[in-house]
Amino acid sequence: MFSSQSNNSVVPIVAHKPIFFNGWSNPVNGASGCKEFEYCLVSVNRFVGKYAKKLNFEHKRIMLDSGAFTRVSGFYPQFKGHLPINQYASIATEMAKKVNLVAIVTQDYMCEPIVLRERKTTVRNQQIKTIRRYDLLLKELSSRDNQTYLLAVLQGYEPKEYIDCMQMYGTRLKSKAWVGVGTICKRNGSPQVILKILQAIKSKRPDLRLHGFGLKIKSLALPQIQDLLYSADSAAASLAGGRGTRKYVGCGGWTTNDPRGAIAYEIKIYQAYLKSCLSRQQRLACCKYLTHLQASIERISRRKAGNL
């Protein structure tokens, strides 16, 4: 068991390297669950509807995502928009009672050009709606005495638009606030674009602790991007060359619902971190965690074989 952190801490496993949240769609008990993940991001979509998952699943630290792209992009006809604020807050509050919930992601509105065309809207409107939703959700969570951290999300498409959004948030973003950066998961093919966005934000607010949504190894392997992020997650399709059930096809061939594939992908991330470690302390921490991840894969294999 990896034991460098307390269960409720949200600090980098390797100093000055982004915390990595495994994006996971199957929060259950048993060998297919997220028990082995140190940090896990789960969409609220998994806890609503006919096949809603129960909140008794084994885990360590959970970030609850609002499922924004699937719910409000217009490309998934089964979704008609964000969950009502009171329903999202209700689920988050129930989770906070039963789960080690380290953050709740606000219900933001993405700004990809294809989304703007589909929704017949503008970047500015999406930013306004994102911040308004943040205010209403914060108020609703407060009324339920839910003190879990609400992660604000900066939205935009061009670097200046993210700065505009940051300024629109104003004093809501306290010193050293942990803040998400949206509309970048579809841009992993151009890490330099993501880098420019992060640099722009940090040029105005170097204190912010940025979370990169849906980042792939192509982006996270860049030391410059590592230096600018506090955390990131893998909630993106086609992480290792496949889609759907083949999301982790390039990481041992495991299917999407096999946590060994997710951990194998995390190993690749930390191997990339290791290459850019500057201090002996960083390298030791990275090597220790890589050993832990490999042991996690072996434990899952034994569970699947019925030996543990």
pLDDT score for 291: 98
pLDDT score for 304: 87
DSSP, res 75: S
Nearest to 43 by CA among 12, 76, 65: 65
Contact 81, 107 (CB under 8 A): no
Owner of token pair 């209700």? 90
H-type alpha helices, 26-182: 68-72, 85-98, 113-119, 123-143, 159-169
What is the DSSP track for 268-280?
A: HHHHHHHHT--SH
Contact 113, 157 (CB under 8 A): yes
Contact 241, 249 (CB under 8 A): yes
- 19-238 CATH, one of 3.30.390.10, 3.20.20.105, 3.30.2130.10, 3.30.365.10: 3.20.20.105
Contact 208, 202 (CB under 8 A): yes
First to last CA, the chain: 15
How is the chain split into domains, by residue range? 19-238
Contact 20, 234 (CB under 8 A): yes
How far is it, in rounded angstroms, from Cα 203 to Cα 228? 11
Owner of token pair 């998400």? 180
How far is it, in rounded angstroms, from Cα 276 to Cα 41? 25
pLDDT score for 292: 97
Coil, helix or strand at residue 267: helix
Contact 166, 200 (CB under 8 A): no
How far is it, in rounded angstroms, from Cα 182 to Cα 161? 11
Distance from CA of residue 279 to its chain's centroid?
Answer: 27
pLDDT score for 248: 64
Half-sphere CA count of 205, side-chain side, radius 13 A: 24
CA dihedral angle for residue 214, residue 215, residue 217, residue 218, rounded to 10 degrees: 130
pLDDT digits (tens), the chain, 308 positions? 444 444 557 999 999 999 999 999 889 988 889 999 999 999 999 999 988 999 999 999 999 999 998 999 888 888 889 999 999 999 999 999 999 999 999 999 999 999 999 999 999 999 999 999 999 999 999 999 999 999 999 999 999 999 999 999 999 999 999 999 999 998 999 999 999 999 999 999 999 999 999 999 999 999 999 999 999 998 865 555 545 555 666 677 777 789 999 999 999 999 999 999 999 999 999 999 999 999 999 999 998 888 55
